[in-house]
Structure 1
Amino acid sequence: MSATTLEREAPAAQTAPPMPEVRGGVVAYLCLEGAFAASDFYVRAFGATEVGRMPPDAQGRTMHVHLYVNGTSVMLSDPFPEHGCGFQAPAGFNLMQVVDDVDASFARALEAGATVIMPPQDMFWGARYGQVRDPFGVTWALSSRAGECAMQDAMECAGRA
């Protein structure tokens, strides 16, 4: 047999799919109880697109889920305390999305199971803004431009609010 014949008869090498593109300058990586369920929720609540998911381990945990939320990567994992990633309840931050329609986005999140922290309202800094908490304890802020208040005029705008 010639080398050419051997090459044709060799089984095709299996290649892994390419890793999804990481989008955004700062990417949130959330360690949550129930990363697969959180991913499903974010698809329903925020229109996220899941672009990658590692299979679960024997305990049903995943090390990695990759989503695009509003054009930016958000990554999730279940807790793996044996690898230094234990669970701590989310506190002291929120994830903000700039959206075209805060009220519609807010309603969609509530319909999916989020709870109200702050209903949408026009804010003194010129945005329509509201906050929800997802079933996994993460606070999401939804914001869109509502007025023409420049940053340097925010304090003056606050006096008119």
Structure 2
Amino acid sequence: MARKAKGRSSKKKAAAGAAARKKTAAAVMVEPIPKGMHTVTPHIVVRNAANAIEFYKQAFGAKELHRMYMPDGKTIMHAAIRIGDSVIMMADEFPDMGTRSPQAIGGTPVSFYIYVRDVDRFFDRAVKAGATVRMPVMDAFWGDRNGVLEDPYGHSWSIATRKKNLSPKQMKQAQEEWLATASMASKKAAEAAPPAAAAAAAAPEPQA
């Protein structure tokens, strides 16, 4: 009887030890993709990142996750914000390291596309916070209602709400109709504009 009790006790201890080791391993296990992160995360460079973070909070409802300063206590070497379910990393300019903002290079070839529930309301809030309208909100042929903004730091943001789900065939047809309409409008505008020669002839003669 004593041997059986001793055997059961040993098994319990072994099971408890295995469970403890499993728990410890789970505690120290590192996820390859951190929780809350997507496969692709944009990292932007801004001139005066501290001010930019405050702008993104007001304009886009961003939540600041963290920030780290250089030894000067002013220059942000790394920061992260969350807009909706997406993280955006950022840092101040470091020209000597080749990291320059859109303001330093005269623009940006990149645009962020943000889906929101109410594009008109979101767009209006961003404009009131200081964003510049590059394209007003309108119904686009691909099924979105969207508009384009430029923030005070030179980055471009397309804000959109999906209004229609289109099949590839419907998308192609809508694109062709839009291109035809745009081409016709461009042609009419060109026809309505006076020729350069006529415009020059219509200009008043300079007086001696």
TM-score, normalised relative to structure 2: 0.63
**Is 1:130 paired with 2:169?**
no
How much does 1:137 deviate?
Answer: 0.2
Asked if the contact 1:36–1:65 (Cα under 8 Å) also holds between the matched residues in 2, the reply is no
2-side partners of 1:131 and 1:50: how far apart? 23
**Is 1:119 paired with 2:136?**
yes
Q: Equivalent residues in 2 for 1:39-50 (5 A)?
A: 39-50=53-64
The higher-RCO structure (CA 8 Å, 6+ apart) is 1
Q: 1:80 aligns with which of 86, 94, 111?
A: 94
SS at match of 2:171: helix
RMSD: 1.9
How much does 1:32 deviate?
Answer: 1.0
Query: What is aligned with 1:142?
Result: 159
**Percent of matched pairs sharing the same residue:** 32
**CA deviations over 1:75-98 (Å, ceiling 9, x no partner):** 110012344434443411101111
* Structure (1 or 2) with the greater helix fraction: 2
Query: What is aligned with 2:80?
Result: 66
Query: What is aligned with 2:37?
Result: 23
Asked if the contact 1:125–1:150 (Cα under 8 Å) also holds between the matched residues in 2, the reply is no
SS at match of 1:31: strand
How much does 1:159 deviate?
Answer: 4.3
How much does 1:55 deviate?
Answer: 2.9
Name the CA shift for 1:52/1:155 in 2 (closer, same or farther; >3 Å).
Answer: same
Query: What is aligned with 1:109?
Result: 126
TM-score, normalised relative to structure 1: 0.80
How much does 1:160 deviate?
Answer: 4.7
How much does 1:154 deviate?
Answer: 1.0
Name the CA shift for 1:29/1:71 in 2 (closer, same or farther; >3 Å).
Answer: same
2-side partners of 1:46 and 1:34: how far apart? 18
Name the CA shift for 1:120/1:91 in 2 (closer, same or farther; >3 Å).
Answer: same
1-side partners of 2:98 and 2:133: how far apart? 32
Name the CA shift for 1:145/1:60 in 2 (closer, same or farther; >3 Å).
Answer: same
Show structure 1 runs of 5+ residues with no match.
Answer: 1-19
Q: How many residues align?
A: 142
Asked if the contact 1:48–1:69 (Cα under 8 Å) also holds between the matched residues in 2, the reply is yes
Q: Which has the larger radius of gyration?
A: 2
The aligned amino acid for 2:139 is: D
Runs of 4+ in 1 over 4 A off after TM superposition: none
Out of 81-90 and 27-36, give the one that drifted further. 81-90
